[in-house]
Chains A and B, each alone.
Chain A
C-alpha cells in the first residue's frame, strides 16, 4: 500500500479541461417499462475522487450506481471504466466492488470469511487471502472480531465489515450505496471522517450514493445533484452551496430564501431588481441578463443580518416581525414575517453568552448584502 497515494482531493483534476476521466458515463438512459429512472446522464469522474451522487428517493441515483456495478444494463448509452467499455461485462468481471445499503453480509459466514470471499474467488491461496483479510480488518479496526458472525455485531461494526469486504479485492472503483444510512447520527458523523481517511489512505475512487446532504458535503470531492433521472449540477461542495445553478439545487442543499423579481436596470457589476417581497433591491449582475427578465434571487439564511434599528449604511433593508425562533446552541434560527406576509428564514450566530438576543414578536430590520444574493434564471 503506498503511504501517500495521489488523491483527487489535492489535485482537483476536474478543474483541468485536459485531464483524462477515469470513469465516463456517456448519455446513459435506463427505463423500467414506462418509467425512466435515469435520463440521458453524462458524467466524468476522475481517479482518486470521492464522488457523491446526491438526491431524494427515486431520483435515479441508485439505478446509476447499479449500472456501474453491472446489476442493471443501460437501455442506452455507454459506461467506460479505466478505458474499458463495460457494455457486456458481467458484475463478477468488473473492476468495481459495491458496499450495499443493507450491507448484504453473508449471514452463514464469519467476518473473516466474508472479507475473504472475493479473494478466494480470485483464486488466491488461503494464506495469501487471509493475510489480506487481516490487513483489511486492521484498517477498519475489527481485527478482534474476525471469528464473529454478522448477527453478533453492532450496526456500525457490520458497516465496517461490509467496507472491508468491498475493499479487500482492491477494486478500481468502490461503489457505496447509502453507506451510513443505517447508522445513528453520532456514529454516522464519526464514520464519515473514517471513510474519508480510508479513501485517502488507499487512493481508490469512491462513488457514494446518498440522500443526506450533510453527508455529501462532508465526504465528497465533488457532488452530483440528481432529480427525476437527471443530474442537475456537478461541482465541489462549496460550489454547490455557494453558487447553485438552479432553484432546485439551491433549495435542495441547505435552506434558502428565494425571491422572484424582474431586472429593472443593469449597471456594470450590479443591477436593480424589482421583487414582490423585498421591493427594489441591489443584486450582483450576471452575464446574459436583460432588462425585464424574470429571475430569482437566492439568499442563505445565515447571510442575512438582523437588527432592531434601521442600519445606517443598509442598502437592501426590509422591516419585519419575528414570528418564531429556535435556539440551536451555536446559532439561532428565526422566522421573520415581512410586511406583505411573506415569511423568510434568518439565522444568527450566537457569539457572546451575555447577548441580548432578539426574541419573539420584536420588530426588526433584515438586511442583505448585494454580493450575497445568488441570481438564478431557472
Chain B
C-alpha cells in the first residue's frame, strides 16, 4: 500500500482529466491516423477505462501492481465484459425483423407507463429443446475427449523436453511453437490433404499393401478429434513443460533413494507436482475446443452437432440474435463454472 493516499476529493478531478485524455487520444486517432471512427471510439474507451481504473486505484490506495494491470484490465473490460453484457442484453429480448433484429427491453406506453419486455423465454426454449442440449453435450464430449488425448500425447513430449539439455531443449521447444507461424486455417486445410480419399495416408497405406481400399477418414468424428488435438497440442505442452522444468531433480533422486522405482516415483512425485500444469493445459485445450467451429466445419461430418456450429446457424442462417445470444451465454456459463471451481480448489490447495 502506498503511504501517501490522495484525498477522495481529488477523485472527480482526476477522473475527469483521465476521461478527457482518453477522448483526446480517440480524437487524435481519428484525425491523424485516419482510423475509422468506431475503432477510434473503442480505442479511446479502452484508454479512458484504463486511465479511470488508474485514477480509481490512486484514490482507493491500490498497490502499484494494480496500476500495472490497468491496461490489460481495460482491454478485458472493453473486449470481453462489455460484449458479454451486450450479449446478455440481447438474449433477454425477442427476435424481430428490424435493425437491430431484436426487440427493446422495455417500452414506453403513450400514457407514460413503462412496460418491461425482457424475458428469460429464450433460455427456457434452449433448455427445453433437445437439439441444443445434444449440441452442448456433444461439444463438451468432443472437448473432453480431445483434452484427454492432448494430455496423453502432450505429457510425454513436455516431460522429454523438460528433461533435455540445452541446446536440444530450445530446439524442441521451437518445434512445438513453430506451427503458430502458419495460419491456423491453413494447417487445418492441410489435414484434408492427409485425410481425404486420395490423401497422403490412404496413398501410403495402399502403396504399402496394408489396405486394399481407401479408408474413409474425412467427414468423420475421428477427423475432428485429430484436428482439435493437433491444433491445441501446443497449449497443452507449454504449461506442462513450464511446471515440469521447475521440478527439482533432487526430489526424484530422493524418491529413488527411499526405495521408489521410476514408475512409483512418477505417480507419487512427478504427477502430483505437475498437477498445476495439467490443469492449466487442460483448460487451455478444453475451453476453446468446446466452442470450436472451424475444425468440425472443415473436417467433420455435416450432421455433427457442435455448439459452435449451432451458434453460427442461429446468428447467420436463422438470424435469431436473441436465441443465439442465449446459446452463447449458456456455453460461457458451462465453461466458466468448472474453471472457477478448479481455481478455488487450487487456491485452497496452495493455502494448505
Is the C-beta of A91 less than 8 angstroms from some C-beta in chain B? yes
Assembled-state Cα–Cα distance A91/B272 (Å): 22
Check A92/B251 contact, CB under 8 A, given A108-B272, A121-B264: no
Assembled-state Cα–Cα distance A201/B260 (Å): 27
Q: In B249-292, which residues have CB < 8 Å from any A CB?
A: 250-251, 253-261, 264, 268-269, 272-273
Assembled-state Cα–Cα distance A102/B250 (Å): 8
Encoded as 1 (CB less than 8 Å from any A CB) or 0, chain B from 176 to 216 comes to: 00000000000000000000000000000000000000000
Q: Across the interface, name the chain B residue whose C-beta is closest to A94.
A: B257
Of the residues A70, A98, A149, contact of B254 by C-beta under 8 Å: A98
Q: In A49-82, which residues have CB < 8 Å from any B CB?
A: 69-71
Encoded as 1 (CB less than 8 Å from any B CB) or 0, chain A from 294 to 333 comes to: 0000000000000000000000000000000000000000
Output the least CB separation between A251 and chain B (Å): 33
Q: Are B352 and A149 in contact (CB under 8 A)?
A: yes
Output the least CB separation between B350 and chain A (Å): 10
Q: Are B257 and A91 in contact (CB under 8 A)?
A: yes
CB-CB under 8 A from A374, the residues of chain B are none
CB-CB under 8 A from A165, the residues of chain B are 258
Check A108/B258 contact, CB under 8 A, given A102-B250, A121-B264: no
Is the C-beta of A122 less than 8 angstroms from some C-beta in chain B? yes
Assembled-state Cα–Cα distance A117/B269 (Å): 11
Is the C-beta of B248 less than 8 angstroms from some C-beta in chain A? yes
Check A169/B253 contact, CB under 8 A, given A106-B269, A107-B273, A149-B352: no
Q: How big is chain B's contact interface, by range?
A: 10 to 19
Output the least CB separation between B342 and chain A (Å): 17
Assembled-state Cα–Cα distance A105/B248 (Å): 10
Is the C-beta of A104 less than 8 angstroms from some C-beta in chain B? yes
Is the C-beta of A347 less than 8 angstroms from some C-beta in chain B? no
Q: Are A92 and B260 in contact (CB under 8 A)?
A: yes
Q: Are A91 and B273 in contact (CB under 8 A)?
A: no
Is the C-beta of A90 less than 8 angstroms from some C-beta in chain B? yes
Q: Are B259 and A122 in contact (CB under 8 A)?
A: yes
Check A91/B251 contact, CB under 8 A, given A106-B269, A108-B272: no
Assembled-state Cα–Cα distance A63/B184 (Å): 49
Is the C-beta of A130 less than 8 angstroms from some C-beta in chain B? no
Question: Which residue numbers of B lie inside 8 Å of A, CB to CB?
Answer: 248, 250-251, 253-261, 264, 268-269, 272-273, 352
18 further interface pairs, Cβ-Cβ under 8 Å (given A98-B253, A102-B248, A106-B254): A69-B253, A69-B257, A70-B257, A71-B253, A71-B256, A91-B256, A91-B257, A92-B261, A94-B257, A97-B257, A98-B254, A100-B250, A104-B251, A106-B269, A117-B255, A117-B258, A117-B260, A165-B258
Question: Which residue numbers of A lie inside 8 Å of B, CB to CB?
Answer: 69-71, 90-94, 96-98, 100, 102, 104-108, 117-118, 121-122, 149, 165-166, 169
